[in-house]
Structure formats: C-alpha cells, structure tokens
Amino acid sequence: MTNKKFTWAKAKAKDWKNYLPPTRPSISELAVIEKCFVDLVKSNPRKKYKLAILGCTVEFRSLAHKYGMEITMVDFSKLHLEILSEQYMMYKGKENF
C-alpha cells in the first residue's frame, strides 16, 4: 500500500521551484523577515544567532545564512531537506535537521 501523504509531499518538494506565493514566501514577506534579522544583528553584532525553521523552505534558510545564523530545521521528512537543498540558495551555512 502506498503512503499518499508521503508521495504528495515528495512531489511538492520536487516542484518547489515552480510554486509562487502564497505557497512560497513572497518578496514582501522576506523583506519583513530580513528587517527583523537586520535589527537583531545590529542589536548585538558579535552574537552568533541560532534559528529554528519549521520546514525546509530555502528562502528562509538562505536569508538566515546571509546574516550568519546557524539553522535547525524541523520537518517530518529528511527527504524534503534533501530535495529542497537541490534548489538554488544564494547564501549557505551550517544547518541541522
């Protein structure tokens, strides 16, 4: 018997690059999050920040890496991480799953 939820999720991860907002973060959403990151880093530039992300969204991961954050992702499938990690990310860094 096939696990339909797993099959659906795997297909969605593989097609991530083809999705648009609101499925993926919009440019305006990323701008709001980036402002928060900038304010946080400015408040204590020497601190090494750690961020937990629910899911493996590449846009959030890349943005956090831009500001030198260490990322821990929480997702129900390591396969999602592997598939989404094939997507382009402008910034990369340390990640935990």
Per the structure, how many domains does the chain have?
Answer: 1
- What is the C-alpha to C-alpha distance for residues 31 and 33, in angstroms, rounded to an integer? 5
Residue 33 belongs to domain spanning: 4-96
Question: 10 Å Cβ neighbour count for 60?
Answer: 19
Q: Which amino acid is at 44?
A: N
Token duo for residue 27: 């440019």
Which of residues 48 and 7 earns the better pLDDT score?
A: 48
First CA to last CA distance, the chain: 28
pTM: 0.83
pLDDT tens, residue by residue, 4-45: 555 666 777 778 888 889 989 999 999 999 999 999 999 999
User: Across residues 37-60, what is the average pLDDT?
Assistant: 95
Q: Which residues contact 6 (CB under 8 A, 6 or more apart)?
A: 77
